[in-house]
Amino acid sequence: MNFDNPEVADKMLNVIRYWLDMGIDGFRADAVPYLFEREDTNCENLQETHAYLKRIRAMMEAEYPETILLGEANQWPHDLRPYFGGNPDDLTVPGDEFHLSFHFPLMPRIFKSLKTGDVSDIINIMRNTPSIPNNCQWCVFLRNHDELTLAMAAQGHKVDIITRQIIDPNWSEFAAPLDGYRAHKNPRIVRLPCGPKHFLPKESLWPCLNEWATRILDFYHQEDNLPHIFTAHYADGGLAGALLQAQSDIHPLHLHRTLAGGAEDGQAESIAGDSGRTGPTVSLQRAHPGQANGNESRRPHHRQHPAGADGAIPPSRLSQRS
């Protein structure tokens, strides 16, 4: 939507009013740094976005004082601080943008610390978390669809992106068993054979789930280096994650958008059998000891890396899908 259009901006405020009148407690604003767009910028953290958020907050506090505005921006804490508003030098000045905001970098460090028994990364990220206005709050979570991203690789962690190998002259960029990203040293793209060699739409690969999970575990057993953490994204990845959990002692981070998000140990086979579907894509993270300083802007990985963390087709090739 074009929020530069005054009619659009006003209409969205009325939409907010409609739902608040229906009795909801508040809103989660998704990917909020990109609300406005400007040529010759990456459209991130524009002043226009902050101005509109202040307008929303003022309306909610004046008309619906018991409701909240929750920010979702996958950024480092010091980059997220302006989204609370107020005065960074005087915490008694009330915040005038988000009431709460997700603390994205904390969550993966919690899981890493549980696995390694080393809390230094948690201590470090909290030391790099700025203070916020007294009427605002950080929102700590243990699950979210963006909790482990390639930005972790820039901080010394080893990240593997697992996807299906495609042997197809029309899709030669997906043939190499191992690949990487020019902008980062630590992440690997690992392409494993599974199902037909040629390209198929993602939804056609569900029947390959059992083979996919086996291929992933075989790969890491051959390296003698199982991952500390792996995440299962969306419906197909959720089922794959459930099978990986059933076949190993690694508990996946099932996300709220997966079909297997609530699966208990031992249920993966019945889930896959009942649905008749399987998922070809799962991203795995191997945590690597090291300091994790929040010194650079952290953007959602799908904006930086066209292949995505789930092996999705690059945007430039979408028109070729059939």
Neighbours of 61 (CB within 10 A): 16
Between CA 214 and CA 110 the distance in angstroms is 28
Active-site residue identified among 4, 21, 25, 30:
30
Instruction: Please say if 30 is a catalytic residue.
Output: yes
- Nearest alpha carbon to residue 33 among 109, 101, 126: 101
- Nearest alpha carbon to residue 241 among 227, 249, 231, 226: 231
For residue 130, CA distances in Å to 3, 30, 89, 144, 284 come to 30, 22, 11, 22, 30
Contact 60, 21 (CB under 8 A): no
Active-site residue identified among 72, 97, 147, 310:
72
Rg of the chain taking only CA atoms, in angstroms: 21
Instruction: Please say if 72 is a catalytic residue.
Output: yes
Give every CB contact of residue 15 below 8 A, 6+ residues apart in sequence: none
**Hey, which residues are catalytic here?**
30, 72
